[in-house]
Chains A and B, each alone.
Chain A
Amino acid sequence: MNSEGNASGSTIPASEMVDHLFRNRSGQMVSYLTRMLGPEHLDLAEEVVQEALLKALQNWSYHGIPENPAGWLFRVARNAALDAIRHRSLTIEKEAQVEAEYLGRGSTRIDEDPRLEERLRDDELRMVLMCCHPVLSSDARVALSLKTVGGFNVREIARAFLTEEATISQRLVRAKRQIRDLNIKFEMPVGVDLPARLTSALEVIYLMFNEGYAAQSGEDLVRDDLCMEALRLGRLLADSSVGTPAIQALVALMAFQAARLPARVDAAGELVLLEDQDHKLWDQRLVAMGFQYFSRCSEGNEISQYHIQAAIAATHAGTSDSKNTDWKMILDLYDQLMVLNPSPIVALNRVVALAQVQGSLAGLEALHPLGNEPFLKRYYLLPAVRGQLLLDLGDRTSAAQNFRNALHQSCSEPERRLLQRRLAECGADS
């Protein structure tokens, strides 16, 4: 037993393993292998990566964590890919095969390549842009990005989206088939394709973020993970050579909003609205990140809707106490946002700011025309906002009626409980 008596602990303790190391590295490895094998073999890339992770589980359990965990994983995944190419005699494009062989015999071991991280980021970036190809449905783009680059599995995606696993699986199978059938390439889009693809990527990232941010149950961490993954992908794009001011603005917006996640739910698991939040609970690291990207996004001439939204979030983030919020500035920003993106949701948010500046009665008047918006017909926030304004004006009966209407629309459990608390404040029974 002499050879095994290495009890001195020369191995790295578990605490050295960063949160989500496997998730993030698996996304990078899938991207890297997809470049080698071609997008038509995305499934194989995923299989090989899963194999590498399980090998790590079995090996490190007995031997401890190696000095370079990421390098270990990559070497094992690459070897498994080469094995798969040989054993399954795949019809892989010659070039990809040559490259795979080259990497297999190359003098620079992958875990020693000083440019490894840079190359991996590049692969990830291409993968995101491939997953955001406009021929794929927007649902499929999000699911595929999460699965391949994000390292989420089907169950986690389904949970994050409150959907059935089978639905997500079908979505992924279909998307992969489209990639094969349409011969979508794993390369950086050029010319007019690039801005179109970037716009799509921004939508996907923002959708991913909102899905995690909205309807926080406070019980399911996967939804927080979704926000953090969107932020990670946003930064990947923002920090790359194709980063645009709109991307910087979106990252700023997401960082500001993610900073509030710890303050959004109180100790009892109840939802806390922005105006009631304890700003000290905001994640200061993320607030700082928000301001960092916010200053970068204003360097160009472009003003996107993300710029305005980031500016609104920055105004909130820059206020130490919500009582001192500069609502006039926020209303002004919403006016600008209405020009760029005149959506009913933006209009509704503008009313909230307007009521803060000009009073609840003015808010109610501004709310009136929104009642005809078909898009807001089934949206619980319209009657909820109206109810709050009526409650502020002392009209408890009408307020209660509106909170009851809001409760008839679909909303998350914590939102429902918040509405019920408001209804109770009206002194009415539900």
Chain B
Amino acid sequence: MAKYLLLLYNDPAGWKALSPDQVQKALEKFVAWRQKIINQGIYLGSNKLAEDAGKVLRGFGQVRVTDGPYSETKEVLGGYFMIEATDYNDAINKTRDCPGLEFGGTIEVRQVDPMVPSA
């Protein structure tokens, strides 16, 4: 088993037209999906990120701080889930039904590289 980070990107502008009922339905799907992976025992954690672009620090002698990279794009990194899976295929299959993919969302799946055991 390895850890996988699911980065959820979405375009909040697409949600503006949703009715309260539709917002609730979308939320119920999300809550149900989260509950499902909790029940499967593969849920390691999740967090919503603040709705700003964040900050980027660049170091080369002196550290420079700039605004995050997503301020110009429509899609924003909304949050992440950390799950357990055997390999990328398994991780992808477990992510396929994530409601974050509705309304044109994107999910980036990254494996957390396990620490190489010391000899």
B-binding residues in A (CB < 8 A): 1, 3-7, 9, 13-14, 17, 20-23, 25-26, 50, 53-54, 56-65, 151-153, 155-156
A58 with B48, Cβ < 8 A, contacts A13-B35, A65-B31 known: yes
Residues in B lying within 8 Å of A, measured CB to CB: 12, 15-24, 26-28, 30-32, 34-35, 38, 41, 43-48, 51, 78-79, 81-82, 99-100
B27, B28, B44: the one contacting A5 at CB < 8 Å is B44
Whether the pair A4, B46 counts as a contact (CB closer than 8 A) is yes
On whether the beta carbons of A156 and B19 are closer than 8 Å, the reply is yes
Return 20 A-B CB contacts under 8 Å, by A number.
A3-B45, A4-B47, A9-B38, A13-B31, A17-B31, A50-B16, A53-B20, A54-B15, A54-B16, A56-B27, A57-B30, A58-B79, A60-B30, A61-B79, A61-B99, A62-B48, A62-B81, A151-B20, A151-B21, A153-B17
Contacts A9-B35, A61-B34, A62-B79; A21 near B45 (Cβ below 8 A):
no
Interface majority SS (helix, strand, loop, mixed), chain A: helix
Complexed CA–CA distance, A53 and B17 (Å) = 12
Q: A1-B82, A4-B46 are in contact. Are A64 and B23 (CB under 8 A)?
A: no
Choice from A5, A58, A60 contacting B45 with Cβ under 8 Å: A5
Give A151 to B18 CA distance when docked, in angstroms.
11
Other than the given A63-B48, A64-B31, 10 more pairs (CB < 8 A) read A14-B32, A17-B28, A22-B27, A25-B20, A54-B18, A58-B79, A60-B30, A61-B34, A62-B48, A64-B34
Known: A1-B82, A23-B19, A26-B20. A57 touches B27 (CB 8 A): yes
Please tell me if the beta carbons of A153 and B20 are within 8 angstroms of each other in the complex.
yes
| A residues in contact with B41, CB < 8 Å | 7
- In the bound assembly, the distance between CA atoms of A64 and B16 in angstroms comes to 22
Q: Is the CB of B24 within 8 A of A23?
A: yes
Chain A residue at smallest Cβ distance from B31: A14
Check A17/B21 contact, CB under 8 A, given A4-B44, A64-B34.
no
